[in-house]
Amino acid sequence: MATTVIAKETNSSTATRTVPMPSNGRPWSPRIEQDATWANGTGAGQVDEVWMGEGTVAAGAFVNLDLKALAQVDDDSVAIRTIDFASIKKITVKNITAGATGYLTIGGGTGAASAADAWAGADTPFLTDATINALQTPNSATNDRAVFKWTSQTGGTVTNTSKDILCLGGVTATQTYQIHITGVSS
Protein backbone atom coordinates (compact mmCIF):
# COMPACT_ATOMS: atom_id res chain seq x y z
CA MET A 1 0.00 0.00 0.00
CA ALA A 2 1.54 3.31 -1.03
CA THR A 3 0.99 6.69 0.47
CA THR A 4 1.54 10.08 -1.12
CA VAL A 5 4.20 12.18 0.53
CA ILE A 6 3.91 15.91 0.04
CA ALA A 7 7.21 17.76 0.02
CA LYS A 8 5.62 21.00 1.16
CA GLU A 9 4.25 19.10 4.13
CA THR A 10 0.98 21.00 3.96
CA ASN A 11 -2.02 20.57 1.68
CA SER A 12 -0.87 22.89 -1.12
CA SER A 13 2.41 21.42 -2.39
CA THR A 14 3.27 20.82 -5.99
CA ALA A 15 6.31 18.62 -5.20
CA THR A 16 4.70 15.22 -4.65
CA ARG A 17 6.13 11.70 -4.50
CA THR A 18 4.42 8.36 -3.96
CA VAL A 19 6.34 6.14 -1.56
CA PRO A 20 5.45 3.00 0.37
CA MET A 21 4.25 2.96 3.95
CA PRO A 22 6.94 1.93 6.43
CA SER A 23 7.42 -1.83 6.42
CA ASN A 24 5.69 -2.28 9.74
CA GLY A 25 2.57 -0.53 8.41
CA ARG A 26 2.71 2.22 11.02
CA PRO A 27 1.78 5.58 9.54
CA TRP A 28 4.15 8.50 9.84
CA SER A 29 3.45 10.77 12.76
CA PRO A 30 1.73 14.06 11.82
CA ARG A 31 4.42 15.73 13.95
CA ILE A 32 6.97 14.46 11.47
CA GLU A 33 5.09 15.28 8.28
CA GLN A 34 3.30 18.57 8.89
CA ASP A 35 5.56 21.01 10.66
CA ALA A 36 7.22 22.86 7.79
CA THR A 37 6.01 24.76 4.75
CA TRP A 38 7.90 24.68 1.47
CA ALA A 39 7.30 25.96 -2.03
CA ASN A 40 8.20 23.74 -4.98
CA GLY A 41 11.62 24.58 -6.37
CA THR A 42 15.31 24.72 -5.55
CA GLY A 43 15.83 28.07 -3.79
CA ALA A 44 15.55 29.22 -0.18
CA GLY A 45 12.31 27.95 1.36
CA GLN A 46 11.81 25.54 -1.54
CA VAL A 47 12.21 21.78 -1.99
CA ASP A 48 11.78 19.31 -4.85
CA GLU A 49 12.55 15.94 -3.21
CA VAL A 50 11.35 13.86 -0.28
CA TRP A 51 12.82 10.56 0.88
CA MET A 52 11.38 8.40 3.63
CA GLY A 53 12.70 5.16 5.03
CA GLU A 54 12.63 2.82 7.95
CA GLY A 55 15.35 0.56 9.18
CA THR A 56 17.02 -1.30 11.99
CA VAL A 57 20.56 -0.92 13.23
CA ALA A 58 22.14 -3.51 15.52
CA ALA A 59 23.86 -2.65 18.79
CA GLY A 60 27.36 -1.42 18.07
CA ALA A 61 26.65 -1.19 14.33
CA PHE A 62 26.06 1.73 11.97
CA VAL A 63 23.89 2.49 8.97
CA ASN A 64 25.37 4.95 6.48
CA LEU A 65 22.84 6.81 4.37
CA ASP A 66 24.47 8.21 1.24
CA LEU A 67 22.61 11.48 0.65
CA LYS A 68 23.85 11.50 -2.95
CA ALA A 69 22.38 8.05 -3.68
CA LEU A 70 19.28 7.24 -1.59
CA ALA A 71 17.25 4.41 -3.09
CA GLN A 72 13.49 4.96 -3.11
CA VAL A 73 11.75 1.58 -2.92
CA ASP A 74 8.29 0.30 -3.77
CA ASP A 75 5.95 -1.80 -1.61
CA ASP A 76 8.08 -4.89 -2.31
CA SER A 77 11.33 -3.15 -1.27
CA VAL A 78 12.47 -2.98 -4.90
CA ALA A 79 14.44 0.16 -5.77
CA ILE A 80 12.46 2.30 -8.21
CA ARG A 81 14.74 5.33 -8.39
CA THR A 82 17.70 6.98 -6.72
CA ILE A 83 17.52 10.39 -5.08
CA ASP A 84 20.62 12.60 -5.35
CA PHE A 85 20.34 15.50 -2.88
CA ALA A 86 22.27 18.73 -3.49
CA SER A 87 21.11 20.16 -0.17
CA ILE A 88 19.04 19.01 2.78
CA LYS A 89 16.35 21.32 4.14
CA LYS A 90 14.87 19.04 6.79
CA ILE A 91 15.73 15.78 8.52
CA THR A 92 13.44 14.03 10.97
CA VAL A 93 14.41 10.78 12.68
CA LYS A 94 12.04 8.94 14.99
CA ASN A 95 13.27 6.09 17.16
CA ILE A 96 10.39 3.56 17.19
CA THR A 97 12.18 0.88 19.20
CA ALA A 98 10.01 -0.94 21.70
CA GLY A 99 11.58 -1.44 25.11
CA ALA A 100 13.78 0.66 27.31
CA THR A 101 17.24 -0.50 26.26
CA GLY A 102 19.77 1.48 24.26
CA TYR A 103 19.48 4.50 22.05
CA LEU A 104 20.03 5.69 18.50
CA THR A 105 22.83 8.05 17.51
CA ILE A 106 22.34 10.41 14.59
CA GLY A 107 25.17 12.08 12.71
CA GLY A 108 28.82 11.80 13.43
CA GLY A 109 31.45 10.15 11.30
CA THR A 110 32.09 7.08 13.43
CA GLY A 111 30.28 4.72 11.07
CA ALA A 112 31.16 6.58 7.87
CA ALA A 113 34.08 5.45 5.74
CA SER A 114 35.92 8.41 7.23
CA ALA A 115 34.97 11.52 9.18
CA ALA A 116 35.61 13.48 5.98
CA ASP A 117 32.66 11.66 4.34
CA ALA A 118 30.20 12.63 7.08
CA TRP A 119 27.47 15.16 6.33
CA ALA A 120 28.72 17.84 8.69
CA GLY A 121 29.74 21.48 8.76
CA ALA A 122 28.49 24.93 9.66
CA ASP A 123 25.36 24.59 7.47
CA THR A 124 24.30 21.25 9.04
CA PRO A 125 23.19 20.29 12.56
CA PHE A 126 26.56 18.55 13.08
CA LEU A 127 29.88 20.32 13.62
CA THR A 128 32.80 19.98 11.22
CA ASP A 129 34.60 17.48 13.48
CA ALA A 130 31.99 14.86 12.66
CA THR A 131 33.60 12.04 14.63
CA ILE A 132 32.31 13.34 17.98
CA ASN A 133 29.00 14.95 17.11
CA ALA A 134 26.45 12.17 17.32
CA LEU A 135 23.07 13.07 18.81
CA GLN A 136 21.47 10.60 21.17
CA THR A 137 17.77 9.90 20.81
CA PRO A 138 16.17 7.86 23.60
CA ASN A 139 13.91 5.09 22.41
CA SER A 140 10.14 5.45 22.41
CA ALA A 141 9.60 3.28 25.49
CA THR A 142 11.32 5.86 27.66
CA ASN A 143 10.17 8.89 25.71
CA ASP A 144 7.28 8.83 23.24
CA ARG A 145 8.69 11.98 21.67
CA ALA A 146 11.98 10.34 20.71
CA VAL A 147 12.25 12.48 17.59
CA PHE A 148 15.20 14.44 16.21
CA LYS A 149 14.25 17.29 13.87
CA TRP A 150 16.41 19.76 11.99
CA THR A 151 15.12 22.35 9.50
CA SER A 152 16.91 25.00 7.44
CA GLN A 153 15.26 27.26 4.87
CA THR A 154 18.57 27.57 2.97
CA GLY A 155 19.68 23.95 3.46
CA GLY A 156 22.82 22.04 4.29
CA THR A 157 25.03 21.35 1.29
CA VAL A 158 25.66 17.74 0.25
CA THR A 159 28.96 17.15 -1.55
CA ASN A 160 29.66 13.82 -3.24
CA THR A 161 32.55 11.85 -1.70
CA SER A 162 33.33 14.46 0.96
CA LYS A 163 30.14 15.53 2.73
CA ASP A 164 27.45 13.02 1.88
CA ILE A 165 27.03 10.34 4.58
CA LEU A 166 24.44 10.56 7.37
CA CYS A 167 25.29 7.94 9.97
CA LEU A 168 22.82 6.23 12.33
CA GLY A 169 24.12 4.01 15.11
CA GLY A 170 22.65 1.55 17.57
CA VAL A 171 23.98 1.82 21.11
CA THR A 172 23.57 -0.97 23.70
CA ALA A 173 20.67 -2.62 21.81
CA THR A 174 19.21 -2.94 18.30
CA GLN A 175 17.25 0.19 17.37
CA THR A 176 14.46 0.65 14.81
CA TYR A 177 13.92 4.05 13.25
CA GLN A 178 11.89 6.01 10.72
CA ILE A 179 13.60 8.80 8.79
CA HIS A 180 12.22 11.57 6.61
CA ILE A 181 14.54 13.76 4.52
CA THR A 182 13.38 16.78 2.55
CA GLY A 183 15.62 18.79 0.25
CA VAL A 184 16.73 19.85 -3.20
CA SER A 185 17.94 17.42 -5.85
CA SER A 186 21.14 17.76 -7.86
User: Tens digit of pLDDT for each residue in 50-104?
Assistant: 998 889 999 988 888 999 999 988 778 788 889 999 999 999 888 888 776 778 8
* Mean local confidence (pLDDT), 174-178: 88
What is the pLDDT, as a whole number, of residue 170? 85
Q: Where are the domains of the chain?
A: 2-185
Q: Could you give the dihedral angle defined by the CA atoms of residues 5, 98, 35 and 48, in that order, rounded to the nearest 10 degrees?
A: -30
Q: What percent of the chain has pLDDT over 70?
A: 66
pLDDT digits (tens, 9 = 90+) for 2-56: 333 333 333 333 333 433 334 444 444 434 444 567 889 999 889 999 998 889 9
3-state secondary structure 31-80: HHHCCCCCEECCCCCEECEEEEEEEEECECCEEEEECCCEEEECCCCCEE
pLDDT digits (tens, 9 = 90+) for 104-129: 888 865 565 566 777 877 788 776 54
